[in-house]
Amino acid sequence: MNQDKLSLTFAALGDPTRRAILVRLSKGEASVSELAKPFMDTMSAPAITKHLKVLEKAGLISRSRDAQWRPCKLNGEPLKETAEWLEHYRSVWEESFDRLDDYLKTMTQKKKGKKNVRKK
Amino acid sequence: MNQDKLSLTFAALGDPTRRAILVRLSKGEASVSELAKPFMDTMSAPAITKHLKVLEKAGLISRSRDAQWRPCKLNGEPLKETAEWLEHYRSVWEESFDRLDDYLKTMTQKKKGKKNVRKK
DNA sequence: CTTATACTTAACTATATGGTTAATTAACCG
DNA sequence: CGGTTAATTAACCATATAGTTAAGTATAAG
């Protein structure tokens, strides 16, 4: 099931219903039925309960109790950690222009053929 | 299978083996066997092939051909998109201190009881 | 006490995921 | 040609995921 925190978070984010729930929660606490409302026509209540469990296991939400309601609130911490993981590789996507540039230079040179890519 | 791009990317990132592969690729192109090396003792070659397919379907890597080798290279674009999705919610984790502050204020007041959270 | 509302649990189903071993394809090397 | 290396495909398996319906729990409200 991939126990590590990052994996749980990324996996939880890998579902559009769950991302939509998080977006809603970023605007403030909400009860389960409030969260379920946009999906009422396409999804049953137990399905939402399950999604909430996934989010809770990933630490993305926490839940309290208010009479028969179980208000959910967003916990940003795991989002922060995934953002930090990605940030570590920002150079990869920012340097893509540079690498395209390198590639074009290599192609227009066309002196010695390939073979300089692999080492093994 | 969750077709949308973001879901595919997040799901692909939800596995530590695949993240390790991406980390390796951020240091430059590599053949499949190079990528497989750190997992040789715990995982078979076909398992790596499958992980690479997941990464490829998410657009995170692209593959070329060099004799019997199939060098993989990282494509940062989807990482950028997931980072942007997360960035949209940066305020959520940055404001957590403020919200804690609010909470403490509310608790020390302790005048009118709860019930101001839910609307439904 | 009964009923309605909010939500969860249980049991089940279908498909996806992550892994395996064995066989296959493809290219190079002597 | 025959062998070796690189990687994929096929067939299979166990478990996880994402959903369902039906039943159960908990609280509020008449």
Taking only the tens place, the pLDDT of each residue in B105-120 is 555 554 443 334 343 3
How many other β-carbons are positioned within 10 Å of the β-carbon of residue B6? 19
Taking contacts as CB-CB distances below 8 angstroms, the residues of chain A near B2 are 14-16
Query: How many contacts does A have with B, using Cβ atoms within 8 A?
Result: 130
User: Which nucleotides along chain C are within 7 A of a protein C-beta?
Assistant: 5-11, 15-22, 26-28
B54-63 pLDDT, tens digit per residue, is 999 999 999 9
Give the pLDDT band (50/70/90) at residue B82.
very high
Nearest to B9 by CA among B94, B84, B87, B92: B84
User: Quick one: closest CA in B to A75, which residue?
Assistant: B93
Give the pLDDT band (50/70/90) at residue B40.
very high
- Start-to-end CA distance of chain A, whole Å, equals 33
β partners of residue A61: A74
What pLDDT does B18 receive? 97
Whether residues A2 and B14 touch (CB distance < 8 A) is answered with yes
Let me know the angle formed at the C-alpha of A81 by B76 and B41, rounded to the nearest 5 degrees.
Answer: 70
Distance from CA of B106 to the nearest CA of A (A): 16
Q: Is the pLDDT of residue A108 over 60?
A: no
